[in-house]
């Protein structure tokens, strides 16, 4: 890098015609938008974690802190916040926004003003959801899944919460639309499709899922409001309706939604593995096609959430079969990540530690998913803590750890500072141990019959609940250490260089933090990513 580049203004200092907070909120710069999203996401995540800790406390002393009605409201809000305000927007709006243009050699996304609009939609949607918790009436108590007929009948502020989610849905849709268009149209010269970094491929696949699945949730939420306000009984048997159709419509979105969550997370792992083993990714094309396959096949497995709902046997068999198919491309990815390590020059820094954790925890979650996806076991574990453990392993152990991996990996690039590697590892340790104590015990509880969403566990589960709750405290300590480390580094950390990890994708060729226009001269690409050469 030449000296001129390091003297260049970073995007933080670049002047705009607004000042202060407005200079950020009115910015169309994808980097600023990404950081604002990141701040909002992590704030909501913290609230969600606090609610989770509260749930665990209540479960070891039912009635002492929350009564039964409040318990229902707390787990509902925990789910709504973690899913709709954190994990679905999650990686695409934070790391995706910040890095997509840079990694493909562009100056910004295809529609920068639309990008800014998605941020505003997100903030408004979040505000409406939070409003539903505090205004007159009660917070929703339906579970984040809003199943009919209860969601139509309950006196809680469901319409308002659902309106908030509707608005958030459009933020997601427009983000996906923007990213798909950007990847088609704004790649730098020479950046052919099969030279794209794998993170970009996952953002592409995710964008398509956002475009094609989210609108189905949108209309389903409209149906809930129509039912509550106008008495339209699409899911009311007394009016000819079918509650199972609600479940179909809901899961037609909500299953692909988990791929919106996990595909970008897998993309991050695909970026980290080559850098920390100093080898190019094993089987680049296989990883690309597995991402596309997961997005495609994942679109058609939604019925596996409904095996005990009263669906036809034929449908159960079909959905179970397709569910087994979708595990295959995930397996391909896990294999290829591990193969990338083989004969590599491995540097176990914090990003790699979180990434390796992802591989282990996601595999546990994924394998238990196969158990749940089999029809006979499903009858026993549906609606139990086995399910709760499974999805926390894939979503929190998977996407959550990947989020932290990406945060540590790209931290120097985004903030121009370096954090304490030692503190990161200590935080990881508590987080990892706490996570497994908290959630593995749930597999055992669920296998032994503990139902989910129950306010007062029967006494035979008490010791398991106790172990799990202690795990939640260890996990919370870990998170506190991790975030204190990162926040401290913002103010007191040493300056970071352009490429502290030795990465081989475009973001590591520009200063940390990047200048406003990303590249002084547009790069021209002549070969694929992860060019670590033969080893």
Partner 1 sequence: MALGRNSNQQATVPSTEQGRIDYAGKKIGMWLFLFTELLFFGGMFLLYAVYRSRYPAEFHWAAQQENLLLGSINTMILLSSSLTMAVAVSAIGKAHRRLSCLMQMVTMLSACCFLIIKYFEWGAKISKGIYPNSPVLLAHEKGDILFFSLYFVMTGIHGLHVLIGIIVMAIMLFFTRRGVIAPDNFAKLENTGLYWHFVDIVWIYLFPLFYLIT
Partner 2 sequence: MDRDDLQAQTAGYSHYLCVWAALLVLLGMTIAIARHELLANYSVLGSLVIATVKAGLVLSYFMHLRNEGWVVKGMLLLAIGALTFIIALTFVDTWYR
- Point out which residues bind partner 1 (CB under 8 A): 106-107, 110-111, 114, 173, 177-178, 180-181, 184-190, 211-216, 218-220, 222-223, 226, 230-234, 239-242, 245, 248-249, 252, 504-506, 509, 521-529, 531
Contact in structure between 333 and 290 (CB atoms under 8 Å): yes
The distance of closest approach from Cβ of residue 180 to partner 2 in the complex, given in angstroms and rounded to an integer, is 9
Q: Rank residues 56 and 504 by Cβ distance to partner 1 and give the closer one.
A: 504
Beta carbon nearer to partner 1, 63 or 231? 231
Cα 318 to Cα 443: distance, rounded to the nearest angstrom? 26
Rounded to the nearest whole angstrom, what is the least distance from the CB of residue 499 to partner 1 in the complex? 12
In the bound state with partner 1, the residue whose beta carbon lies nearer, of 61 and 524, is 524
Query: How far apart are the C-alpha atoms of 476 and 482, rounded to whole Å?
Result: 10
Minimum distance from residue 330 beta carbon to partner 2 (Å): 21
Picked from partner 2, partner 1, none, the partner binding residue 513 (CB below 5 to 8 A depending on kind) is none
Q: How far is the CB of 248 from partner 2 (least distance, A)?
A: 5
Alpha-carbon Rg for the chain, nearest whole angstrom, is 23
When the beta carbons of 189 and 494 are compared against partner 1, the nearer one is 189
In the bound complex, what is the minimum distance in angstroms from residue 180's beta carbon to partner 1?
A: 6
Q: How far apart (Å, rounded) are the C-alpha atoms in residues 237 and 246?
A: 12
Q: Among partner 1, partner 2, none, what binds residue 318 when CB lies within 5 to 8 Å by partner kind?
A: partner 2
312 contact choice in partner 2, partner 1, none (CB below 5 to 8 Å, kind-dependent): partner 2
From partner 1, partner 2, none, interface partner of 200 (C-beta below 5 to 8 A by class): none
Could you tell me which of 178, 37, 177 has the C-alpha nearest to residue 106?
178
Q: Which does 315 bind (CB under 5 to 8 A by kind): partner 1, partner 2, none?
A: partner 2
Q: Which of 119, 114, 115, 44 is nearest to 82 (CA)?
A: 44
For the bound state, the minimum distance from the C-beta of residue 447 to partner 1, rounded and expressed in Å, comes to 36
Packing angle, helices 401-415 and 350-373, rounded to 10: 150
Q: Is the peptide bond before 440 cis (omega within 30 degrees of 0)?
A: no
- 314: burial class by Cβ within 10 Å (0-12, 13-18, 19+)? exposed
Q: How far is the CB of 297 from partner 2 (least distance, A)?
A: 11
Hey, what are 251's tokens?
A: 């899961």
Q: Within 13 A of 535's CA, how many CA atoms are on the CB side?
A: 17
Question: Peptide bond before 250: cis, by omega within 30 degrees of 0?
Answer: no
Q: What CA–CA distance (Å, rounded) separates 162 from 529? A: 42
Residue 404 token pair: 């932290």
Report the nearest approach of partner 2 to the CB of residue 190 (Å). 19
- 3-state secondary structure string across 295-353: HHHHHHCHHHHCCCCCCCHHHHHHHHHHHHHHHHHHHHHHHHHHHHHCCCCCCCCHHHH
299 binds, among partner 1, partner 2, none (CB under 5 to 8 A by kind): partner 2
DSSP 497: -
Using CA atoms, how far apart are residues 467 and 102, in angstroms rounded to an integer? 45
| Residue number, 319 or 532, with CB nearest to partner 2 | 319
Of 55 and 297, which has the nearer Cβ to partner 2? 297
In the complex with partner 1, the residue whose CB is nearer, 493 or 529, is 529
Residue 234 touches which member of partner 1, partner 2, none, C-beta under 5-8 Å by kind: partner 1
Cβ atoms < 10 Å from Cβ of 192:
11
Please say which residue, 151 or 468, places its beta carbon nearer to partner 1.
Answer: 151
The residues that touch partner 2, with contacts defined as CB under 8 A, are 184, 208, 211-212, 216, 242, 244-245, 248, 252, 299-300, 302-303, 310-315, 318-319
Question: Which tokens belong to 520?
Answer: 């002084």
């Amino acid at each position: 890098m030449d000296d001129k580049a390091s003297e260049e203004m970073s995007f933080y200092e670049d002047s705009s015609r607004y000042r202060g907070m407005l200079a950020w909120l009115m910015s169309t710069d994808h980097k600023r938008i990404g950081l604002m999203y990141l701040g909002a996401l992590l704030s909501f995540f913290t609230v969600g974690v606090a609610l989770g800790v509260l749930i665990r406390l209540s479960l070891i002393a039912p009635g002492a802190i929350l009564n039964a009605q409040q318990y229902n409201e707390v787990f509902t809000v925990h789910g709504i916040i973690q899913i709709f305000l954190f994990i679905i927007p999650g990686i695409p709006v934070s790391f995706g926004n910040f890095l997509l243009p840079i990694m493909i050699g562009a100056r910004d996304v295809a529609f920068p003003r639309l990008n800014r609009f998605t941020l505003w939609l997100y903030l408004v949607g979040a505000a409406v959801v939070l409003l539903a918790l505090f205004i007159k009436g009660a917070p929703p108590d339906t579970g984040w899944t809003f199943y009919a007929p209860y969601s139509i009948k309950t006196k809680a502020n469901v319409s308002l919460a659902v309106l908030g989610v509707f608005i958030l849905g459009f933020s997601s849709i427009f983000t996906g639309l923007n990213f798909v268009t950007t990847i088609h149209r704004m790649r730098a010269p020479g950046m052919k499709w099969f030279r794209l970094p794998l993170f970009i491929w996952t953002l592409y696949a995710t964008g398509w899922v956002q475009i094609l699945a989210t609108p189905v949730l949108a209309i389903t939420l409209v149906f809930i409001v129509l039912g509550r306000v106008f008495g339209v009984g699409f899911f009311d048997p007394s009016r000819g309706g079918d509650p199972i159709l609600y479940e179909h419509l809901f899961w037609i979105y909500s299953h692909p939604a988990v791929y919106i969550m996990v595909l970008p997370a897998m993309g991050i792992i695909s970026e980290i593995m080559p850098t920390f083993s100093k080898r190019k990714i094993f089987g680049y094309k296989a990883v690309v096609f597995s991402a596309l396959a997961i997005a495609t096949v994942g679109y058609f497995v939604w019925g596996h959430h409904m095996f005990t709902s009263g669906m036809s046997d034929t449908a159960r068999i079909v959905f179970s079969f397709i569910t087994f198919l979708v595990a295959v491309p995930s397996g391909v990815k896990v294999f290829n990540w591990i193969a990338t390590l083989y004969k590599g020059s491995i540097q176990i820094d914090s990003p790699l530690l979180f990434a390796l954790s992802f591989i282990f925890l996601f595999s546990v979650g994924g394998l238990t998913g196969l158990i749940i996806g089999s029809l006979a076991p499903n009858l026993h574990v549906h609606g139990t803590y086995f399910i709760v453990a499974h999805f926390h392993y894939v979503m929190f152990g998977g996407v959550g750890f990947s989020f932290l991996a990406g945060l540590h990996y790209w931290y120097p690039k985004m903030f121009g500072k370096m954090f304490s590697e030692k503190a990161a590892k200590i935080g990881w340790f508590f987080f990892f141990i706490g996570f497994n104590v908290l959630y593995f015990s749930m597999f055992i509880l669920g296998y032994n019959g503990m139902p989910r969403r129950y306010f007062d566990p029967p006494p035979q589960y008490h010791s398991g609940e106790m172990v799990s709750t202690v795990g939640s405290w260890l996990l919370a300590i870990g998170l506190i250490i991790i975030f204190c480390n990162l926040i401290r580094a913002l103010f007191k950390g040493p300056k970071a260089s352009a490429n502290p990890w030795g990465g081989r994708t475009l973001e590591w060729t520009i200063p940390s933090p990047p200048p406003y226009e990303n590249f002084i001269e547009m790069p021209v690409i002549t070969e694929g990513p992860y060019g670590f050469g033969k080893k």
